[in-house]
Amino acid sequence: MRRATETRTETAKAAAPAVLDVIERIGNGVPHPVLIFLILIAATAIASHLLYLLDAGVSFQVINPATQGTETVTARANSLLTAEGIRHVYTRLVPNFMGFSAVGLLIVAMIGVGVAEESGLVNACIRKLVAASPRWTLSYILAFVGILSSVASDAGYLILIPLAGTALISVGRHPLAGLALGFAGVASAFSVNMLIKPLDAVLTELTNDAIHIVNPSLSIEVTANLWFSIVSVVVLTIVIALTTERIIEPRLGPYREDQASAALAPHESGQLSDRETRGLRYAAAGLASITLVFCLLTLPPWAPLRDPATGALVGNSPFMNGLIGVVMTLFLVTGIAYGIGAGTIRHATDVIDAMTKAVSGMGGTILLFVVISQFVDYFTYSNIPTLLAVRLADTLKDASVGPLWLLLGLVLVVAILDLVFTPAIATWAIFAPVFVPLFVQFAVDPAAVLAAYRVGDGPMNSITPLNPYFALVVGFAQKYDRHAGVGTVIALMLPYVFWMSVLWILLFIAWYLSGLRWGV
């Protein structure tokens, strides 16, 4: 009897990896991501014309920023195959690419990261971290830092994800598990943080505008979800780390470097040499110097990087709007300082060569971004995302259920929509005027509605190819496994999405039922 029970248990344990293997094979059997998005563009064009012929449209309320009043707007499907649609496609090729912010963020960040990596700073810091931390804490540290990286907007995608892969391979663990861990922290938990970030200010402003539709005297603060966010960070850190160690790494098995697409850089994890230690001291001095400079530029009331009208440092301020420049400068200065101290940088041309190498290695990614930028624009122009969002919102709003079930319905709708429409601000701009007034009339705290939106908007970010950085993660994976593809990444991320969604929803339910304050 006991043997039969153990056999069933082992079979159950093997079932999930087997399903993920099938998903990976199917996913990797699809065409190159560039071809996928070209196919999606063609499908969008056909779908947009069919909806146009059917005169598909929806009406919904929006808030006029000038009057703070509500207006009824009607959105109809726009065809990409009419004369006007063809003109749009023809004239938007370059503007679409130039306006795709992921390109600029990627190039600017990699200028600094490239110098830090080529000088040896990244490798030395990881080895120092590994040496100073108990082995069991590494997954938790990387997951925690990945979640907090959202305070620097999209910089975590460019820095933390590849760093997590390097960190795990340096201790003999599978680098793809590191990439998956980093991607889960950066993308699937993007909507929460222990710190207030620019996204919070925008979501709060949209929420307050929606509240004022029915109650002009009621508002929430930017910290309205702070307590829930802090606890969510702790819970999600544990979930991500355990998923990595209990599901992802056992499925991947031991890593063989002959799987890599090219020879990997040495990743020894022993004690640092005297030159490396001296380099870290120089880097620390560089970090202190650049931190002092930015403190002078931000902390005094007259600081030039504060909002010139309000004096605010967070929110819509020059400092927050240019935060990727801070990240680039920190890596650049500390990388150069480390290189001088360790002797890996001897001439100015060494720095230029490191920058050039970092940027030149992004040729394939930039090509992909050209195609993605066109798809995003055409998809938005067609109004298909708006039609989907409003139809789903109306269906949920008309459901005769209690407030908690309605909140859970909002979580589900947001999660489904997130697969095809990823911008967090744009989605909430559509949902907030529909749901927030409804819940206010049910005497539900608007902070709970915003918290529900955060739960729904997070996990799916790591499995939708429409995430602008999904293709970048595929590229990172191919560095360590030349056979990796879209299916590899989706199969890696599905366990994170499942467990993060389930446990985060349970946390939300427990929080709501216990009546705890959502924030300050």
* Chain mean pLDDT for the chain: 82
CB 23 within 8 A of CB 170: no
Tell me the pLDDT tens digit for each residue of 14-69: 555 666 666 566 655 667 778 877 888 999 999 999 999 999 988 876 666 666 66
Q: Tell me the range of 84-93, 121-130, 258-267, 390-399 where mean pLDDT is highest.
A: 84-93
Res. 481: pLDDT tops 90: no
Q: Cα–Cα distance between 485 and 489 in angstroms, integer? A: 7
Residues 6 or more apart whose CB falls under 8 angstroms from that of 308 comprise 318
Domain annotation covers residue 188: yes
pLDDT at 394: 72
Is 24 domain-assigned?
Answer: no
Among 198-202, 305-309, 367-371, top mean pLDDT goes to 305-309
The answer as to whether 283 is a domain residue is: yes
When pLDDT is cut at 50, 70 and 90, the band that residue 129 belongs to is confident
Query: Domains in the chain: how many in total?
Result: 1
pLDDT in tens, 79-125: 999 999 999 999 999 998 887 766 776 788 778 878 887 888 877 87
Give me the torsion for CA of 312, 314, 318, 321, rounded to 10°.
-160
pLDDT at 370: 85
Among 97-111, 130-144, 238-252, 408-422, top mean pLDDT goes to 238-252
Q: How distant, in Å, are the alpha carbons of 131, 292, 295 from that of 285?
A: 21, 11, 15
Question: Length of the chain in residues, anyone?
Answer: 520
Per-position DSSP letters for 420-437, written without gaps between them: T---HHHHHHHHHHHHHH
Nearest to 143 by CA among 184, 177, 113, 103: 184
221 part of a folded domain: yes
pLDDT exceeds cutoff 80 at 447 = yes
Alpha-carbon distance values, 445 to 394, 408, 409, 516 (Å): 21, 15, 16, 11
- Residue 11, pLDDT score: 46
Give the integer Cα–Cα distance in Å for 481 and 502: 30
Which pair of structure tokens corresponds to residue 284? 């620390």
User: 224 and 450 in contact (C-beta within 8 Å)?
Assistant: yes
Q: Indicate the helix (H) or strand (E) that contains 146.
A: helix 138-148
Ranked by mean pLDDT, which of 226-240, 245-259, 376-390, 392-406 comes out on top? 226-240
Question: Is 1 contained in some domain?
Answer: no
Domain holding 207, by residue range, is 30-69+81-514
Place of tokens 């699809």: 30
Identify the pLDDT of residue 516. 94
Q: Which of 113-122, 180-189, 409-418 ranks highest by mean pLDDT? A: 180-189
The position carrying tokens 């300050």 is 520
- pLDDT at residue 218 in the model: 84
pLDDT at 97: 87
- The percent of residues in the chain predicted with pLDDT above 70, rounded, is 84
Predicted structure pTM score? 0.69
More confident residue, 44 or 440: 44
For residue 323, what pLDDT is reported? 73
pLDDT digits (tens, 9 = 90+) for 331-345: 899 999 999 999 999
Residue 193 lies in a domain: yes
Does some domain include residue 472?
Answer: yes
Report if residue 23 sits inside a domain. no
Residue 361 or residue 251, greater confidence: 251
The span from the CA of 155 to the CA of 110, in Å, is: 10
